Copies of this chain bind each other. A is one copy, B any other.
Amino acid sequence: MYVAIPAAIPFKPTNPKTRLSCMLDQEERERFARMMLCDVVAAARMAGCEPFIIATEPFVFGDTRVILDEHGLNDALNDLLLRTPGPLLVLMADLPLTTPDAIRRLTSSSADVAIVPGRGGGTNAIFLQHADRFRVSYYGGSFSKHREIARESGLSCEIIDSFRIHTDIDEKEDLVELLIHGEGLSRAYLVELGFSVTIERGRIGVERKGEGDMSGLMP
């Protein structure tokens, strides 16, 4: 019998993605974060996983299961890991370029621990064969910490080579990546808000125009 791999997706519904405040107001950031979550949930499902959300506050998201955990990211996940003897995928919610193929390459790793690093030393996705043998430590260079935790625990570790899962959307420059490479709801939402890619003197950027412009945000 095929059992879908559970995929935990931590999510913060209120006032997320503050580093995008220069381009999006709070309501837009909350909608944008939900759209990215949609894209990630859809990719995980298409990859044969069973996604569920770990939310920091009460939150409803269609028919996707939501677990409420008000502890920090590390405590919430480590609590879950301890209770999970089998495989578990942990996937961040701000990875809207994620494809089913990229997730499948990750979850088909035969290593005990398989990691897709994020830009800047983070951990964007981690697949554990036996979740209860591992513990996570996010923030501040988590990629190196996770590799070290695997080593200390005697677990084999593989790095999975994917720019789609590597690309998290935190800052204005990241929106360029989503506009160029995205195919899901979060990209469509940006386009609806008037975002587009610009090229000036050979350098790529992003601008926001039209009905959804930022004039309402200006002082």
Contact = CB atoms under 8 A, between A and B. Distances in A.
Interface in A94-119: 99, 101-102, 105, 116-117, 119
A101 B161 contact: yes
A180 B139 contact: no
B199 A141 contact: yes
A42 B204 CA distance: 31
Task: Decide if the interface of chain A is mainly helix, strand, loop or mixed.
Answer: mixed
Interface residues on A, range: 20 to 34
A217 to B, nearest CB: 25
* Number of identical protomers: 2
Contact of A162 (B163, B199, B203): B163
Nearest to A204: B121
B161 A197 contact: no
A109 B36 CA distance: 29
A34 interface: no
Contact of A180 (B101, B117, B181): B117
A161 B199 contact: no
Interface in A158-207: 159, 161-164, 166-167, 173, 176-177, 180-181, 197, 199, 202-204
5 contacts: A117-B163, A117-B180, A120-B176, A140-B199, A144-B180
5 closest A-B pairs (Cβ-Cβ)? Answer: A163-B166, A163-B163, A121-B204, A140-B202, A140-B199
